[in-house]
Amino acid sequence: MVNNKMKFWLKKIKSKAQSITWTAWGIWYIDPPKDVSLDGYRIDNVIQYTDIVITIYFSIVILALIFFIFKYRARPGHTAVYDKGDTKKHVLATVAMGLLVFLSIDVVIEAMSFRDLKEAFWNFPKGENVIKVEVMPQQFAWNFRYPGSDGKFNTEDDVVPVQNQMHVPVNTPILIQIAPFDVIHSFFLPNFRVKIDATPGMVNTMWFQATETGNFEIACAELCGNAHYRMKGYLTVESQEDYEKWLADNAPKEDEGDDWDDWDEEVDEGNREIPEEWAWAWKEVQ
């Protein structure tokens, strides 16, 4: 009888403990969002390398700390050694360790980072197949603009789809230019590991390339007001054919004077006027 009761409670405690350990070790079961980009792996690699080296260095410090706590704890008969640690030998040893940390961590991640910036993130794609998109965030929505069939912005055939909807073809470099209408926003694609601020008065450039089709979320990463948390867009990655069809569907029609009919009433509430015009034509980057 007693045994049964004990078993019952043990079981209960065990299941409770299991659920606690699951969340206690968050890092072991929480992964970043799935990477669906050409270059996202580079960022994951830098993070992984840093993970490993800082775990090693932190463990050394903590193990030394724990060892010292046991070995040198105050107890009868134990005294400290008078040692100021300022001899030439000591100073050289500490400085050498500082340099070792710098060489083994910083220089490596710096080299990785510079290489990735040069080869990927700051190496903007050129050529015919690059899809150019202009992004103009405003409180609290994302506006997108495609150049249309003539490949030029600020012309009659520019495509301005429904707000918060961005479509891109898979396996094609996408070059975006971004400038906000009102306050600072930040265009964040968690699944692509990239982010770029949109600051009033300047046009920023960023590129990415999708390797898988699907629907992904666009988040605003810079505080932009009370509905900042709902400033969410959708990025649809689809095949070239689907993308072209979508672009054609969204092309401006003769009778339509206003592209803003689908404005989400709820989000619109309390908002300022919707900008009439896009402020900038495509800014050529070197």
Residues 178-237 that bind another protein (CB under 8 A): 179-184, 186, 188, 190-191, 193-197, 199-202, 204-205, 216-217, 219-230, 232
| Coil, helix or strand at residue 88 | helix
Residues 39-68 contacting another protein, CB under 8 A:
42-43, 46-47, 50, 54, 57-58, 61-62, 64-65, 68
154 φ, ψ (degrees, to nearest 5): 60, 35
Nearest to 220 by CA among 284, 148, 164: 164
Q: Which of 1, 2, 52, 73 binds another protein (CB under 8 A)?
A: 73
Long-range contacts of 250-253 (CB under 8 A, 24+ apart): 250/146, 250/159, 250/160, 250/161, 250/162, 251/148, 251/157, 251/159, 252/156, 252/157, 252/158, 252/159, 252/160
Scored b (16 or more CB within 10 A) or e, 81-112 reads: eeeeeeeeeeeeeeeeeeeeeeeebeeebeeb
By the rule CB under 8 A, 83 interacts with another protein:
yes
> Residue 196 pairs with which residues in a beta bridge?
187
By the rule CB under 8 A, 244 interacts with another protein:
no
- Six-digit token pair at 171? 């396996």
Q: What is the CA radius of gyration of the chain?
A: 28
CA distances from 58 to 31, 50, 51, 109, 194 (A): 22, 12, 10, 17, 29
Closest distance to another protein from the beta carbon of 24 (Å): 7
Closest distance to another protein from the beta carbon of 269 (Å): 12
Closest distance to another protein from the beta carbon of 275 (Å): 6
CB count in 10 Å sphere of residue 274? 15
By the rule CB under 8 A, 268 interacts with another protein:
no
Closest distance to another protein from the beta carbon of 227 (Å): 6
Q: Which stretch binds another protein (CB under 8 A): 3-11, 163-171, 175-183, 258-266?
A: 175-183
Closest distance to another protein from the beta carbon of 95 (Å): 7
Closest distance to another protein from the beta carbon of 101 (Å): 4
Residues 130-169 contacting another protein, CB under 8 A:
138-139
DSSP letter for 273, please. P
Long-range contacts of 245-248 (CB under 8 A, 24+ apart): 246/161, 246/167, 247/146, 247/159, 247/167
Closest distance to another protein from the beta carbon of 161 (Å): 20
Closest distance to another protein from the beta carbon of 80 (Å): 4
By the rule CB under 8 A, 272 interacts with another protein:
yes
Residues 90-129 contacting another protein, CB under 8 A:
90-91, 93-95, 97-99, 101-102, 105-106, 109-110, 112-114, 116-117, 121-122
By the rule CB under 8 A, 9 interacts with another protein:
no
Q: Closer CB to another protein, residue 6 or residue 202?
A: 202
